[in-house]
Amino acid sequence: MSRTARFLLVVLMHGTAALCLAQPAAPADTARPRFAIGSSHTALGFMKLSFPELDARFDAAGLPRAASGAGALGLGVDIRPGRLLVGGGYQSLFTPNQSDASYRTRMTGGIALLDLGVALVRSQRLSVYPIVGAGVLHLSLNVHERGDIAFDDGLATPAREIDLSNTSLLFQTGLLVEHRIAMRGAEYAVSLRFGVTGAVGNGAWRSAEDQVQGGPSGVRSTYVRLGFSRPLSRRRDAALPLAGMLGQAVVR
């Protein structure tokens, strides 16, 4: 990861943790979980990916393109001071392999994002938040020459397979629509998030521990995610999950 990306994420981690921990302790009568305090959620979604420059490079090399769509599974947490929403999450991306008679291309990845939103609608059962966000996108590409081989032939041709990875800053804008449900004395919510994302520049391309020069520019995407949420009892409960999710991006 570039120094700029690491610096941004460290600042976001410290800032978010400080915001959560700086909140005054909740009075005893507000200790029960409430969405007005914050929430944690799991989400399942889909991303439509656009790699114009990467696709052109693969076409020129005669290789199958990377997948143009990805399933997404992740976790997130947020705090809600007044009409504001400050949150973050981590999404793992899953894509189908792309192959032809000679080669197979595989792509995996993950996204760590910090979100900021302001309530457009905030009623007892429904909330709507326009959201902007920034974070880090990490993608791994593997290209493998297909076909059964003898063991010694594999040792003689290690270039049959190459691994490439890209880490880049990412920005997003979207909309969160959340509908809350009361069940057996507890409160839950289902949510729908959708929007667009874009990576900044070419990012940092690598092959294992080595740098790769002249890599293509980053991905653009549209996304939709269906989430299931539970409320928080205290804002400070969000500090550790937020720091851990953003820390995954720093480690990468």
Question: Cα-flanking dihedrals φ and ψ of residue 8, to 5°?
Answer: -60, -45
Residue 150: pLDDT band with limits 50, 70, 90? confident
Q: Which residue has the higher pLDDT, 218 or 131?
A: 131
The answer for residues whose C-beta is within 8 angstroms of residue 85's C-beta and 6 or more apart is: 78, 79, 115, 116, 117, 118, 119, 129, 131, 176
At 196-227, the pLDDT tens digits run 999 988 889 999 888 999 999 888 999 999 99
Residue 130 in this model has a pLDDT that exceeds 60: yes
Question: Cα-flanking dihedrals φ and ψ of residue 120, to 5°?
Answer: -90, -35
Cα 208 from Cα 56, distance rounded (Å): 23
Percent of the chain with pLDDT strictly greater than 90? 57
Angle between helix 3-21 and helix 239-251 axes, rounded to 10 deg: 170
As given in the structure block, the two tokens for residue 168 are 């880049």
Q: What domains appear along the chain, each with residue ranges and CATH number?
A: 3-251 (2.40.160.20)
Cα 51 from Cα 189, distance rounded (Å): 34
pLDDT value for 147: 86
Largest Cα separation within the chain, whole Å, is 71
- Among all chains, which residue has been given the structure tokens 């990467």? 54
Q: Quick one: average pLDDT of 182-198?
A: 90
Q: Quick one: average pLDDT of 4-9?
A: 44
